[in-house]
Amino acid sequence: MQYRTLGRTGIKVSPYALGTLMFATVIGSPDPDDSIKVIHKALDAGINFVDTADAYGDSEEIVGRALKGRRDNVILATKVGLPRLNALPRTPATAAATDPNQRGASRRWIMTAVEGSLRRLQTDHIDLYQIQRPDPGTDIEETLSALSDLIRSGKVRAIGSSTMPASDIIEAQWVAERRGLERFHTEQPPYSILNRSIESEVLPAAQRYGMGTLVWGPLGQGMLTGRVRKGEQNDLRRARFSRHLTDERRIDVVEQLIPLADEAGMPLTHLAMAFAIAHPGVTSAILGPRTMEHLDNLLAGVDVTLTDEILDRIDEIVAPGTDVTRLDQAYLPSALLNPNLRRRPVSERGAA
């Protein structure tokens, strides 16, 4: 395993990070003991970077159990900001009943949430604490101030953001410098052959400020496993959060990538993972295995390197800096979610 430096933190991490969403019993593996075995196998293979979140149901508890006796050899990352998975709103009624203060990036919630994560992870510190989604309702200075206090207290070693637009990344860096606060050391955006928009601004901004980048979704949320084919139905398409698995535009791209992977003599999964970590702005790509079989398949491609010819062919199929379609899980700024922020009042729409 060839380790990389996480931005300018000096921390050495593996190019594959272990994501733990699928270890949550509410969505992934129903047996925590099986998940613990997968975590141990990943650590034994040289992966030293484990990423979880308080939003992932009981994932933090399972990770905490798995790391007993091995904590000092692991770079442990978790996130705050979204409601916990087993409490996600299912209907308008339950959505209204969800406590609005148990989410977001306010000082009040960060200080409460970090204690819960430390307890569930059974550790006295978090190596990388990340804001899982931008919180437009909270001043970034408020967020950075709280995170800075956590670093000074020793509970957190480094801080990061996730799915932040480039403009927000830059603003956070400026605020940190002006106010003498800790700055974000990392960014965690979505990135795969199917979703390359971060190549335009997010990755260049992260590189400019010396941020490490931990990308999620390198397998295109299951599309780049080769299990979703044109005209075929399977269990993956019926999975939760699977609307993108029926998008014909994404499927058409996969049908072009499969013969390219065959021609290169590798599985599509290896092509996808090698692509994700080939960009100089990417530090690590997150694996999201649910079973030992999934992990073994991905680990077999850890040493795969793509030639310029293959990367050029991928560029022809999906142009650099573009998304085939937007992910359902992608962050949308308030201006896109709220029509009132992009429409003048009716009384002001008349001709000048």
Cβ atoms of 75 and 52 within 8 Å: the answer is no
Active site residue 56: yes
Alpha carbon distance 77, 87 (integer Å): 22
Contact 298, 263 (CB under 8 A): no
3-state secondary structure (DSSP) of residue 284: strand
Tokens matching residue 159:
């801080």
CA-to-CA separations, 183 to 103, 110, 146, 284, 301, in angstroms, rounded: 21, 16, 11, 20, 34
Q: What is the dihedral of CA 52, 58, 105, 192, to 10 degrees?
A: 40
Can you tell me the distance from the alpha carbon of 183 to that of 176, in angstroms, rounded to the nearest whole number?
5
Report the DSSP pairing between strands 186-188 and 156-162: parallel
Ordered alpha helix ranges (H), the chain: 32-44, 59-66, 92-97, 107-121, 140-153, 166-179, 202-208, 248-264, 268-276, 292-299, 308-317, 334-337
Asked whether the beta carbons of 52 and 24 are under 8 A apart, the reply is: no
d(CA 208, CA 174): 13
In angstroms, the CA 335 to CA 193 distance is 27
Helix (H, G, I), strand (E, B), or coil: what is residue 5?
strand
Q: Which H or E element spans position 128?
A: strand 126-131
Tell me which of 56, 129, 191, 209 is the catalytic residue. Answer: 56
Active-site amino acid positions:
56
